[in-house]
Amino acid sequence: MAYAIMVQGTSSHVGKSVLCTALCRIFLQDGYRTAPFKAQNMALNSAVTSDGGEIGRAQAAQAEAAGVKATVHMNPILLKPKQDMHAQVIVLGSPLGDMSAREYRQDYLPRAEGVVRQSLELLKAEFEVLVIEGAGSPAEVNLKDRDIVNMKTAELADAPVLLAADIDRGGVFASLVGTLELLEPQEKGRVKGFIINKFRGDIDLLKPGLEFLEARTGIPVLGVVPYIHDHGIDEEDSVALADCDRNREGEAIQIAVLQLPRISNFTDIKPLFSLPDTRVHYVKQGEKIGDADVVIIPGTKNSILDLVYLREEGYENEILQLAGRGRQVIGICGGYQMLGQMLLDPLGTEAGTGSLPGLGLLPICTTYGSQKDTHQVKARVCRGAGFWAQLQGQTLHGYEIHTGQCQLPAGEGLLRIEERSGQRAEILDGMSTSDGRIWGTHIHGIFDNPNLLLVFINNLRQAKGLSLLQLNDLGVWRQEDNYDRLAAIVRDSLDMEMLYRIMNMERKQHGNDNPGSGGD
In a domain, 507, yes or no: no
Q: What average pLDDT does the segment 134-154 reach?
A: 90
Give residue 412's Cα distance to chain centre: 32
Q: Does a structural domain hold residue 241?
A: no
**More confident: 144 or 440:** 440
Close Cβ partners of 161 (under 8 Å, ≥ 6 residues apart)? 6, 7, 8, 134, 138, 151, 154, 190, 191, 192
What integer pLDDT is reported at residue 484 of this predicted model? 93
- Number of neighbouring beta carbons within 10 Å of residue 102: 9
> What mean pLDDT do residues 438-457 have?
95
- CA–CA distance, 366 with 405 (Å, rounded to integer): 5
User: 457 and 488 in one domain?
Assistant: no
Same domain, 183 and 45: yes
User: Which candidate, 304, 246, 311, places its Cα nearest to that of 280?
Assistant: 246
Whether 244 maps to a domain, the answer reads: no
Q: In this structure, is residue 352 part of a structural domain?
A: yes
Domain holding 450: CATH number?
Answer: 3.40.50.880
User: Residues 473-500: what's their mean pLDDT?
Assistant: 88
Of 244, 333, 365, 406, which is the active-site residue? 333
Q: Could you tell me if 37 and 185 lie in one domain?
A: yes
Quote the mean pLDDT of the chain. Answer: 90
pLDDT band at 156 (very low <50, low <70, confident <90, very high): very high
* pLDDT grade for 269, boundaries at 50, 70 and 90: very high
In a domain, 164, yes or no: yes
Provide the b/e sequence for 457-472 (b: ≥16 CB within 10 Å): bbbbbeeeebeebeee
pLDDT of residue 247 exceeding 60: no
Q: Show the beta-strand stretches assigned E in 11-113.
A: 34-37, 40-42, 46-48, 54-56, 77-83, 86-91, 94-100
Report whether pLDDT(412) > 70: yes
CA 385 to chain centre: 31
Whether 198 and 265 share a structural domain: no
Q: Which pLDDT does position 511 carry in this prediction?
A: 46
10 Å CB burial of residue 308 (0-12, 13-18, 19+) is middle
Phi first, then psi: give them for residue 48, nearest 5 degrees.
-120, 130
Number of domains in the chain: 2
What is the pLDDT confidence band of residue 196, given thresholds at 50, 70 and 90?
very high
269 and 208 in a single domain? The answer is no
Q: Please list, in sequence order, all residues whose beta carbon lies within 8 angstroms of the beta carbon of residue 508, skipping any fewer than 6 positions away.
A: 30, 31, 32
- pLDDT in the model for residue 127: 97
- Quick check: is 357 in a domain? yes
456 and 413 housed in the same domain = yes
The C-alpha angle 496, 501, 507, rounded to 5 degrees, equals 65
* Domain co-membership, 494 together with 436: no
For residues 136 and 14, give the distance between their C-alpha atoms in angstroms, rounded to a whole number: 9
Give yes or no: 333 in active site.
yes
Band (pLDDT 50/70/90 cuts) for residue 236 is low
Strand ranges inside 101-247, DSSP E: 129-133, 161-166, 191-199, 221-226
Q: Say which amino acid occupies 467.
A: S
Confidence (pLDDT) at 520: 31
Q: Is residue 32 part of a domain?
A: yes
Q: Give CA–CA dist 253/244, Å, rounded.
A: 17
**Residue 278 shares a structural domain with residue 205:** no
Q: Is residue 395 part of a domain?
A: yes
Residue 517, pLDDT score? 36
DSSP label of 150: S
| Pairing verdict, β 328-332 and 438-441 | parallel
Q: Are residues 165 and 260 located together in one domain of the fold? A: no
* Three-state helix/strand/coil letters over 367-414: ECCCCCEEEEEEEEECCCCHHHHHHCCCEEEEEEEECCEEECCCCCCC
Rounded distance between C-alpha atoms, residue 29 and residue 26, angstroms? 5
pLDDT tens, 56-98? 999 999 999 999 999 999 999 999 887 777 888 999 999 988 8
Mean pLDDT value across residues 213-237:
84
Query: Given this model, what pLDDT does residue 410 score?
Result: 86
Task: Provide the pairing of β-strand 405-407 with 415-420.
Answer: unpaired
Say whether both 200 and 322 belong to one domain: no
What is residue 142's predicted lDDT score, i.e. its pLDDT? 86
Q: What mean pLDDT comes out for the span 18-32?
A: 96
Structural contact between residues 432 and 382, judged by C-beta atoms closer than 8 angstroms: no
CATH assignment at residue 222 = 3.40.50.300
Say whether 69 sits in a helix, a strand or coil.
Answer: coil
User: For residue range 303-357, what is the model confidence (pLDDT) as tens digits?
Assistant: 999 999 999 999 999 999 999 999 999 999 999 999 999 999 888 877 767 789 9
Mean pLDDT, range 265-272, rounded to an integer: 88
For residues 395 and 485, state if they share a domain.
no
Res. 385: pLDDT tops 90: no
Domain extent for 337: 253-465
pTM: predicted TM-score of the whole model, two decimal places: 0.81
* Residue 145 shares a structural domain with residue 107: yes
